[in-house]
Each structure stands twice: as C-alpha cells, then as structure tokens.
Amino acid sequence: MKLDLKKLKLRKVNETLQSIDPKKNNKNYTILNPEGNHAICVGLTDDIDITVKGHVGYYCGGMNQNANITIEGNAGTGVAENMMSGKIHVKGNASQSAGATAHGGFLIIDGDASSRCGISMKGIDIVVKGSVGHMSAFMAQSGNLIVCGNAGEALGDSLYETDIYIRGKVKSLGADCIEKKMDNKHLKKLEKLLKKAKLEKLKTKDFKRYGSARKLYNFKIDNVSSY
C-alpha cells in the first residue's frame, strides 16, 4: 500500500500506520515524498514493513515497537529515538542523537552518524557502517554500539554497561571510558551483530572494545573533576 505525503497529511499517514489490524490489513507499506518531514512513522506497534522513499526529518521511527522501517535516504535528529523493538535501517547518513534513549531493537546506518549517536541508549543494538561524531554513547546504559569507521571526541563519556566496538580510530575517550579486552564472548556477540547487519566479511579481530571503567558509579571526592 502506498501512502503519498503530497496527497495525505502526515497525521493521517501516521494514524493509518498506528491503527493496523495485522489480520486484516496489508503488512507492506511505502511512504512517498517524505521531503524531510519530521516524526514520520512514530509510535508504531505492529509487525509491519515500511519503506520510506527519500529523506526524513527529526525523530523518524521514534518509539517504534515491532515495525521494520527502511529509510531510503538520510535521517534527521533522533532517528529511532526511544525505540523499544523492531528494526530501522537508514540507507544514508543520520544526524545527531541517532538511537537516543532506545530500549531495544536494531538500528543500522549505512553512512555516517553525527554527534551523540546512542546517547543514553538503554538496550538497543546500533551498527554504523561509517563513522560517528563526538560524544557518541554518552551516558549509554546498556546495549551495543558497533562503528565500522572512526569515532569522534569523548567517545563513551560517562557510560555504564554498554559495549562499544570500533573498527577505525578514536579521536578521544570520554570520562570513565577505557579500552577493554576482547574475549571470546565479545567476539561471538560482535560476529552475530555484524552478520545481522549483513557485514559478515568484516573481521571481528579488526575491532577494539570500549566500556566503562566503573569509577563514576558512586560519588568520590577524588573524581569530582570528572562528574
């Protein structure tokens, strides 16, 4: 089923996608002429497939549950923000705060992601085939961030239990973020996530793992300058 944003208002498109009866309605949808509109495909709860033919604005796929969303273009700020489950695939680049506060699901970005990719992520798996900007995984709490390119300044600043895997160079690490040993458990997990993103040809041994030094969990006066 095709939904054309030149003919339909955005609210109507979202209401249509939010009120699907999987037993009665078509499970495949195409959104035409997105033209950078904000909040496309927000709040979806059903297991449906959606292809967006073009660039999207802010918060595309926000609060997603179960839906499989493919964006054939670039995405603005906060794509997959607060996503709970499902999959979002950006075939272009993503602006800042991709996957912010997301609790679950799978986000793939074929290009680069800007600053704060995975900020405060709470369980999502994010794979960026390009590079990420500064302060990516800032205050990240759980989940995995895989970057096949480089990372900007202050990677993983103030993070908790998120694992970060970087194939390229890291400009600098944030407070309480350190390089960690890549043991067999992490190699297997990384291999599984790369396969899920159809990146089987990449070698897990080329990645480095970063995580929390766990020195900022509790307040200590000696660390006051790092808070």
132-181 tens-digit pLDDT: 999 999 999 999 999 999 999 999 999 999 999 999 999 999 999 999 99
Among candidate residues 150, 135, 154, the one with its CA nearest the CA of residue 207? 150
pLDDT of residue 150: 98
pLDDT of residue 216: 75
pLDDT of residue 20: 85
Q: What is the mean pLDDT of the chain?
A: 95
Residue 102: other Cβ atoms inside 10 A: 32
**What residue ranges do the domains of the chain occupy?**
2-226
Domain boundaries 2-226, corresponding CATH code: 2.160.20.60
- Asked if residues 94 and 119 have their Cβ atoms less than 8 Å apart, the reply is no
**Partner residues linked to 125 by β-bridges:** 106, 144
pLDDT of residue 226: 60
- Asked if residues 41 and 14 have their Cβ atoms less than 8 Å apart, the reply is yes
| Cα(117)–Cα(126) distance, integer angstroms | 9
Among candidate residues 13, 62, 61, the one with its CA nearest the CA of residue 33? 13
Among candidate residues 97, 101, 120, 121, the one with its CA nearest the CA of residue 109? 97
Residue 197 tokens, joined: 């993103």
Give ∠ CA 186-187-191 in degrees, rounded to 5. 115
Q: Identify residue 75 by its one-letter amino acid code.
A: A
* pLDDT by 10-residue block (mean), the chain, 227 residues: 96 94 82 97 96 98 98 98 98 98 98 98 98 98 98 96 97 96 96 97 97 80 62
| Cα(227)–Cα(225) distance, integer angstroms | 6
Helix/strand/coil for 108: strand
Residue 36: other Cβ atoms inside 10 A: 14
Q: Identify residue 17 by its one-letter amino acid code.
A: L
pLDDT of residue 224: 61
DSSP state at residue 45 = -
- Asked if residues 194 and 146 have their Cβ atoms less than 8 Å apart, the reply is yes
How far apart, in Å, are the Cα atoms of 214 and each of 158, 209, 211?
9, 15, 9
pLDDT of residue 221: 63
